[in-house]
């Protein structure tokens, strides 16, 4: 089992990103996504602008903590939303946005699926990213005043539009998602048919970057990369290409490849932390590359991914009323059978489609089960049907407290974990608190409102909410953990 990166107290105050000095003129901002900035004699260039406006604002604050020089340029290394969604903030400050021609095209053509993909994993994204104004093919050069930057199309990597930025004087290279470090790499997002395949193109792109012999590589995700880190990435890539390709040649089915390879991962790979990518996604991505045909139709390959939502083969009986399903599901929960609990509630929603109680209980079961998955990618299997269930429940009954509480908690905690704006979730929680009649749901609403304030760094307000929650329910452990920090 691969390790996941979890804080010791999941409700403690969080620091959203941190800045590291690479050279006197180059800094990296490490967050969910890496951004960086370069300071010249005249101005500043920002490379990649984060996943949402709050993260972009934090990046801007870090830039301003180092220099007051104008931000003249923004450079997008590829089209993925987590690297482009802060463009507008910097444009409003007068920056000119630069990318390859292909990146700008993909920001339009592939934006809907990218937005759907990230939204399904808890990111509230807002308006589409501001599009690049200067586009290039091949190479483009800018100068910040005694600080030349060479921007060039690097090739095919995680995406088909991978660019890199070479800070010539400092010999620092910004690779975008061509290089990733610190956790198991993601070899292609499942919303588009691109990434690691059996043709060696990604490996060749990395090789082309290494020809520059950079002193430091700033990766798209993870800590600074040096030769050993890049070689480890190549080793992982080559492992999956070889192992999946060999099994495809032998005629193995996808199910057989998954069951065979997932039980035989090298020990060193099992020890790698998981944040986004997983071995399963690596297997699926490479398998898709070896088996896709030119007439496959619409791009995208997630339809081939087996869901991680647990299932059961047990037969279900007794469904004369919604309460029958709720009772059976509670028994399954007490027995620790997540698959049976989900299956019971899913069936109940099919039989009694207008029961807000069943819909909310189904969503709750999905969110509970999602906690066993480390990867943000895998969690999306649970998040999408859960949110659909809450939406339907609130259409049936806009005052349904369990659904208001469930969705409000989900949105607020996603904002807390990802550094986003918790306003929408907190509004639902306030409504749930005001409508709730029992102490426990009121306590939960007060607590998660506190987590929203904690996300906003309003600690006095957060602690007041935690105390309100504990007054209503002294046994509520999350509030005790949060208040004890």
**Residue 112, pLDDT score:** 83
What pLDDT does 299 receive? 63
DSSP state of 186: P
Question: What is the CATH number that goes with domain 399-485?
Answer: 1.25.40
Q: CA–CA separation, 206 vs 222, rounded Å?
A: 16
Q: What is the pLDDT of residues 209-234, one digit of tens each?
A: 999 999 999 999 999 999 999 999 99
Residue 4: per-residue pLDDT = 41
194 contacts 117 by C-beta, under 8 angstroms: no
For the chain, what is the mean pLDDT?
Answer: 93
Residue 438 has pLDDT above 80, yes or no: yes
Q: Which CATH class is domain 3-242?
A: alpha beta
- Residue 211 is predicted with a pLDDT of 96
Distance, in Å, from the CA atom of 49 to the CA atom of 77, rounded to the nearest integer, reads 10
Nearest Cα neighbor of 194 from 80, 89, 83 is 80
Residue 257 confidence (pLDDT) above 70: yes
pLDDT reading at 430 higher than 90: yes
pLDDT at 206 over 60: yes
- Exposed, middle or buried by CB within 10 Å (0-12, 13-18, 19+), for 458? middle
Choose between 164 and 306: higher pLDDT: 164
Checking if the pLDDT of 123 tops 90, the result is no
pLDDT on residue 1 = 40
- Please compute the mean of the pLDDT values over residues 420-449 and round it to a whole number: 97
Domain spans in the chain, listed from the N-terminal domain onward = 3-242, 399-485
Nearest to 73 by CA among 101, 93, 100: 93
Adjacent-strand bridge partners of 36: 28, 47
pLDDT digits (tens, 9 = 90+) for 5-40: 445 789 999 989 999 999 999 999 999 899 999 999
């Amino acid at each position: 089992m691969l390790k996941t990166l979890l804080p010791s107290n999941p409700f403690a105050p969080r620091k959203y990103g941190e800045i590291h000095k690479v050279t006197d003129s180059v800094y990296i901002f490490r967050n969910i996504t890496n951004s960086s900035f370069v300071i010249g004699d005249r101005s500043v260039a920002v490379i990649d602008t984060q996943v949402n406006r709050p993260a972009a604002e934090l990046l801007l604050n870090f830039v301003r903590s180092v220099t007051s020089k104008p931000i003249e340029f923004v450079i997008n290394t590829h089209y993925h939303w987590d690297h482009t969604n802060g463009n507008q903030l910097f444009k409003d400050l007068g920056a000119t946005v630069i990318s390859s021609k292909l990146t700008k095209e993909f920001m339009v053509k592939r934006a809907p699926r990218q937005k759907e993909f990230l939204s399904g994993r808890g990111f509230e994204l807002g308006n589409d990213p501001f599009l690049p104004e200067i586009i290039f093919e091949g190479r483009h050069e800018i100068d910040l005043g005694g600080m030349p930057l060479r921007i060039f199309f690097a090739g095919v990597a995680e995406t088909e539009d991978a660019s890199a930025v070479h800070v010539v004087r400092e010999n620092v290279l910004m690779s975008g998602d061509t290089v990733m470090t610190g956790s198991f790499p993601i070899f292609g997002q499942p919303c588009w048919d691109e990434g690691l395949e059996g043709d060696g193109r990604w490996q060749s792109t990395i090789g082309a970057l290494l020809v520059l012999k950079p002193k430091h590589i700033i990766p798209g995700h993870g800590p600074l990369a040096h030769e050993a880190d890049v070689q480890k990435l190549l080793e992982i890539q080559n492992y999956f290409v070889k192992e999946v390709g060999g099994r495809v040649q032998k005629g193995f089915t996808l199910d057989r490849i998954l069951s065979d390879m997932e039980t035989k991962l090298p020990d060193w790979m099992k020890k790698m932390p998981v944040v986004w990518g997983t071995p399963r996604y690596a297997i699926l991505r490479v398998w898709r590359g070896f088996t896709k045909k030119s007439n496959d139709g619409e791009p995208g390959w997630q339809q081939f991914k087996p869901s991680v939502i647990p299932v059961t083969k047990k037969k279900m009986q007794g469904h004369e009323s919604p309460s029958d399903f709720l009772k059976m599901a509670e028994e399954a929960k007490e027995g620790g059978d997540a698959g049976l609990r989900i299956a019971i509630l899913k069936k109940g929603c099919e039989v009694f489609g207008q029961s807000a109680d069943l819909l909310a209980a189904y969503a709750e079961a999905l969110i509970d089960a999602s906690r066993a998955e480390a990867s943000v990618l895998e969690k999306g299997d649970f998040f999408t049907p859960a949110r659909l269930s809450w939406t339907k429940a609130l259409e049936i009954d806009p005052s349904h407290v369990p659904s208001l509480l469930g969705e409000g908690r989900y949105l607020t905690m996603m904002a807390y974990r990802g550094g986003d704006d918790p306003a929408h979730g907190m509004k639902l929680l306030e409504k749930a608190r005001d409508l709730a009649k029992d102490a426990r749901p009121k306590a939960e609403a007060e607590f998660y409102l506190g987590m929203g304030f904690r996300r906003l760094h309003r600690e006095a307000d957060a602690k007041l909410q935690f105390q309100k929650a504990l007054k209503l329910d002294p046994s509520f452990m999350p509030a005790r953990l949060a208040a004890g920090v």
